[in-house]
Amino acid sequence: MRDQITGPAIRALKGGPGIRMVTAYDCPTAKIADAAGADIILVGDSVSNVVLGRASTLQVSMDEMVHHTRAVTAASPCALVVGDMPWLSYHVSIEDTVRNAGRFVREGGAGAVKLEGGHKRLPMIEAVLDAEIPVMGHLGLTPQSVHTMGGYRVQGKGVETARELLADARALDEAGVFAIVLEGVPDVLAQLVTKQVSAPTIGIGAGAKVDGQVLVFHDVLGLHDGDLPKFVRQYADLRGVAISALEAFFSDVQSGEFPSEDETYHMPDGVIEALLEDGPSDV
Ligand code: KIV
């Protein structure tokens, strides 16, 4: 049994062997992630498109995020569970932000929250930290900004945008976030950020020179049937395995090979005989 991992424990992993982070959205997948040694389980707002079948992350609500976070923490993982604050849960007011972050902890059982954005979100991040909730930052390609970014595009490719991203990372670091996700940025920029901040950086489409990596559970395990982004490495084809297994089950149903005698409950001796003596029956 591993020790329970906390936000400060993750911060202390800066510069060590890569931090292992993966998403999970329910109890069985959280158990799998934890058994595999995850340091952090992110209940990502990607639940919206990955599990709930919606167009993007913008359609998931606070109530739904809390619901999925509760399912993940029901697995009692040793990994730190991070609740991903959905769009509009930290954009309206500071009070709203703190209340929503608190819901992830009190109702969901999370040990930290993640929210997207840099300078613009600093007052919210500081308020959540003031409420004693560890915060993970998220910079670069922030999917909740898809409309203002003009699509899902790699960020920080120009001098000015790279400067801005570096300044955002330093500001989050100084505010006291315990880690920063860097998504969809050129590898050299991610490396520069990693050198300039004391919080560990966790990359997704940010190259190898960061302090850890995160991928979406369903992408790593091949549970999708669509195209995957270039930064995803698929380690298994669970969709294929699942389809083959279900085909075998359905085939056994139709051939009568399922269930077998061993998979069937039997009556103790004498009971059926007694029932038959009661009168006409088609047993
Ligand atoms: O919601 C999500 O899946 C994320 C990524 C960092 C994996 O935010």
Ligand 1 centroid to 130 CA: how many Å? 24
Are 157 and 267 within one domain? no
183 has catalytic annotation: yes
Residue 282 lies inside a defined structural domain of this protein: no
Our answer on whether the CB atom of 216 is closer than 6 Å to any ligand 1 atom is: yes
Residue 2 lies inside a defined structural domain of this protein: no
Residue 1 lies inside a defined structural domain of this protein: no
Q: Which of 113, 223, 125 is nearest to 173 (CA)?
A: 125
Are 150 and 263 within one domain? no
Question: Residue 130 corresponds to which amino acid?
Answer: D
Instruction: Give the pLDDT of residue 281.
Output: 57
Are 85 and 136 within one domain? yes
Are 97 and 213 within one domain? yes
Residue 232 lies inside a defined structural domain of this protein: yes
Q: Which of 36, 23, 34, 10 is nearest to 69 (CA)?
A: 23
Our answer on whether the CB atom of 46 is closer than 6 Å to any ligand 1 atom is: yes
Range of the domain at 171: 7-236
Ligand 1 atom closest to residue 46's alpha carbon, by position in its atom list: 1
Instruction: Give the pLDDT of residue 120.
Output: 97
Contacts of residue 57, defined as CB under 8 A and 6 or more positions apart, other chains included, come to 44, 45, 46, 48, 49, 86, 87, 143, 144
Ligand 1 centroid to 183 CA: how many Å? 9
Are 246 and 211 within one domain? no
- Please list the rounded mean pLDDT of every run of 10 residues in the chain (283 residues): 96 97 98 98 98 97 98 98 98 98 98 98 98 98 97 97 98 98 98 98 98 98 92 97 98 98 97 89 55
Ligand 1 atom closest to residue 214's alpha carbon, by position in its atom list: 7
CATH of the domain at 231: 3.20.20.60
Instruction: Give the pLDDT of residue 69.
Output: 99
Given the residues 64, 95, 174, 183, select the one marked as catalytic.
183
Our answer on whether the CB atom of 181 is closer than 6 Å to any ligand 1 atom is: yes
Our answer on whether the CB atom of 84 is closer than 6 Å to any ligand 1 atom is: yes
Nearest CA to ligand 1 atom 8: 44
Residue 146 lies inside a defined structural domain of this protein: yes
Are 263 and 133 within one domain? no
- How far apart CA 163 and CA 158 sit, in angstroms, is 8
* Burial category of 163 from C-beta neighbours within 10 Å (exposed 0-12, middle 13-18, buried 19 and up): exposed
Contacts of residue 128, defined as CB under 8 A and 6 or more positions apart, other chains included, come to 90, 97, 98, 101, 113, 115, 135
Residue 30 lies inside a defined structural domain of this protein: yes
Are 135 and 254 within one domain? no
Question: Residue 1 corresponds to which amino acid?
Answer: M
Nearest CA to ligand 1 atom 5: 44
Question: Residue 232 corresponds to which amino acid?
Answer: V
Pocket test for ligand 1, best of 59, 72, 142, 204 (most atoms within 8 A of CB): 204
Q: And the tokens for 120?
A: 């613009």
Are 180 and 250 within one domain? no
Q: Which residues pair with 203 in a beta bridge?
A: 182, 213
Are 17 and 65 within one domain? yes
Instruction: Give the pLDDT of residue 222.
Output: 97
Contacts of residue 54, defined as CB under 8 A and 6 or more positions apart, other chains included, come to 48, 60
Total domains present in the chain:
2
Are 152 and 272 within one domain? no
State the average pLDDT for the chain. 97
Instruction: Give the pLDDT of residue 226.
Output: 86
Nearest CA to ligand 1 atom 4: 44
Ligand 1 centroid to 195 CA: how many Å? 23
Nearest CA to ligand 1 atom 2: 44
Are 40 and 106 within one domain? yes
Q: What is the pTM of this model?
A: 0.96
Instruction: Give the pLDDT of residue 282.
Output: 56
Our answer on whether the CB atom of 105 is closer than 6 Å to any ligand 1 atom is: no
Are 49 and 100 within one domain? yes
Ligand 1 centroid to 144 CA: how many Å? 10
